[in-house]
Chains A and B, each alone.
Chain A
């Protein structure tokens, strides 16, 4: 999944991969107008509750705004790209066919000392495809997408580094949840949704939650992993299980149930207090239609929004297990209790 392309608004390729993955484990899979991949795994019995699990499959990226003389490409970002991470990066330009390019920079020999201390602005960068203007124009057009050319690499132990682990690691957690559920009994219908356009404002979750109209919505996203230079209170350790959020965006009984289940099944977790906006699909789902009780489970990840996002595979599995236990625990009575404040 992380090596597939799916910049916000153009999730078609990664959507196909996920469509197949979900199809193997669920009863039906559809793709909606915006490109959300919505799959349904039915529960047992009548009058079933609906639980929506949402993880976004879009990634941040770049878009071509202009083809300059000599074939250099100007671009803007789609989603929150740190311009400093783009310098000297190898990229893939998705034109009529994929082209490899580099975002070059002036060699240090030619820099003035003042320039060397300043970050290079995105508007001053160009992509060099090594082709003539005519060759470029035959393949590339304004509006074409660009991603960093990066494969997943295993690090020591169960750590991996890749682009787009935010938030396809969470899609993987849903996959793991669905696999676990194949061995468990559950009365609730599960809607596993890979959402689009989260990085530009949680747009996919808005329309898919409206469409699915779940009784409970759980967003699965990533949170900041422990790393030097960031206060402990804003991070969670890697390899020690998911973070379970609480705060205004989270229904208190959903939080309670998630943490109780984690303790019961010896799944390690961290508590993630978030007083205001969570910046995830949970924030959008909660205020859909007449309001949806929401939860948020996050996988700790370092270096968010770079092409070397790093996390622990075991955290993905633990997240999936926790979600499965949660789904299996949901019944009508629990859902009705969510309205009793």
Chain B
């Protein structure tokens, strides 16, 4: 499982250019599903047959990143954020582009540290002229943070745990599920970081009877952190609300019941800010019951997002059990 996680989290795939990660996931899940297709927004939709009802599991495969908006005469690249990026997390980061071109993030001279904003930063790819830079990177190219996966034993660290850890869990569950109780639509969505865009159109075309998003959530277990009753290592979280969704109570109860029946530890999650694909799924067409399983994750939207391995394994068990249990609403 750790090898799978490493492979999935290290892959390049900022929101808007999910080609590489989509191809990787396609190769990983194809042997275990009955059908697989890509839609016009780049969502990867895999179907594993098992019943009359349709259950959609959504994990977003995009990650936050940057888009190049200008190349100056000395070859420095200016950029805009793609998804929610705090300036203070960017300094010193390495940025990689689709073709492997790598650069580092630098900053203009600042009067004070509080003046740090993204439009004062640039990416240096080692070029000396505009022409040299443009031979490698062009305006509109998307970059992602480059950072390797680290196994701390019980805890795992990488960029893009949000939400590749959920992708890895969904892949593993598809591999191990033996007796699905419904047609399982495993959707690896795009552009979640830009406003749940992939999930919205995928939910429309799949039109499931129930939707469950898999994602990460924040924790309240670090020094003077936000007030939140979620910790690493206490199991996957069953979401109650975030800014995008008030989870359908029946789905939440179903998820809790399945966890209890299978002796899987879980936590209840009330997230004050942040959104997830379930927000889009729930409001599709005439309304779709929707819930969320979140993996607790520290330092979200930085180059070093941390999850607990036991939470991940319990997450796989829970997703597998959800796939194998009939949802009765």
Contacts and interface: CB of A to CB of B under 8 A. Distances in A.
Contacts of B46: none
Given A33-B287, A34-B282, A65-B270, A78 B228 contact: no
Interface stretch (A175-183, A204-212, A297-305): A204-212
Nearest to B252: A143
A254 interface: no
Contact of A76 (B268, B272, B288): B272
A142 interface: yes
A162 interface: no
Contact of A66 (B229, B247, B284, B288): B229
A194 B160 CA distance: 41
Contacts of A208: 286-287
A123 interface: yes
A216 B220 CA distance: 47
Interface string A185-222: 00000000000010010010011101100000000000
B248 interface: yes
A35 B248 CA distance: 9
A211 B288 CA distance: 12
B285 A210 contact: yes
B249 interface: yes
Contacts of B127: none
Contacts of B270: 63-65, 76, 142-143
B289 interface: yes
B272 A65 contact: yes
Interface string B224-257: 0001110000000000110000111100000000
A33 B248 contact: yes
Interface string B276-298: 00000011111111000000000
Given A9-B241, A76-B270, A142 B229 contact: yes
Given A32-B287, A33-B289, A207-B283, A142 B240 contact: yes
A148 B246 CA distance: 20
Classify chain B's interface size. Answer: 20 to 34
Nearest to A123: B227
B246 A74 contact: no
A10 interface: yes
A67 interface: yes
A9 B227 CA distance: 22
Contacts of B272: 65, 76
Interface string A56-79: 000000011111000000101010
Interface in B57-108: none
Interface residues of A, number: 28
Given A9-B241, A78-B241, A200-B246, A142 B268 contact: yes
Nearest to B329: A33
Contacts of A66: 220, 227-229
A74 B283 contact: no
Contacts of A34: 248, 282, 287
B308 to A, nearest CB: 19
Contacts of B289: 33
Given A10-B249, A64-B270, A65-B228, A32 B286 contact: yes
A269 to B, nearest CB: 33
A66 B221 CA distance: 12
Given A65-B229, A141-B268, A143-B240, A9 B286 contact: no
Contacts of A142: 229, 240, 268-270
Contacts of B227: 65-66, 74, 123
Contacts of A147: none
B240 A63 contact: yes
Contacts of B247: 9
A78 B241 CA distance: 9
A34 B229 CA distance: 26
A8 interface: yes
Contacts of B288: 33
Contacts of B284: 207
A142 B237 CA distance: 12
Contacts of A76: 270, 272
A33 B220 CA distance: 32
Nearest to B288: A33
B276 to A, nearest CB: 15
Given A10-B246, A76-B270, A67 B287 contact: no
A207 B247 CA distance: 15
Contacts of B283: 203, 206-207
Nearest to B230: A142
Contacts of A9: 241, 246-247, 249
A197 B286 contact: no
A207 B286 contact: yes
Contacts of A143: 240-241, 268, 270
Given A78-B246, A143-B241, A143-B268, A67 B229 contact: yes
A33 B241 contact: no
26 contacts: A8-B246, A10-B249, A33-B287, A33-B288, A34-B282, A34-B287, A63-B241, A65-B227, A65-B229, A65-B270, A65-B272, A66-B220, A66-B227, A66-B229, A78-B241, A142-B229, A142-B240, A142-B268, A142-B269, A143-B240, A143-B241, A197-B246, A203-B283, A207-B286, A208-B287, A210-B286
Q: Identify the 10 closest CB pairs spanning chains A and B, nearest first.
A: A9-B246, A207-B287, A211-B286, A143-B240, A33-B287, A66-B229, A142-B268, A34-B287, A65-B270, A142-B229
Interface of B: 220, 227-229, 240-241, 246-249, 268-270, 272, 282-289
Interface of A: 8-10, 12, 32-34, 36, 63-67, 74, 76, 78, 123, 141-143, 197, 200, 203, 206-208, 210-211
Given A36-B287, A141-B268, 18 more contacts: A8-B246, A12-B249, A33-B287, A34-B248, A64-B270, A66-B220, A66-B227, A66-B229, A76-B272, A142-B229, A142-B240, A143-B240, A143-B270, A197-B246, A200-B246, A206-B283, A207-B285, A210-B285
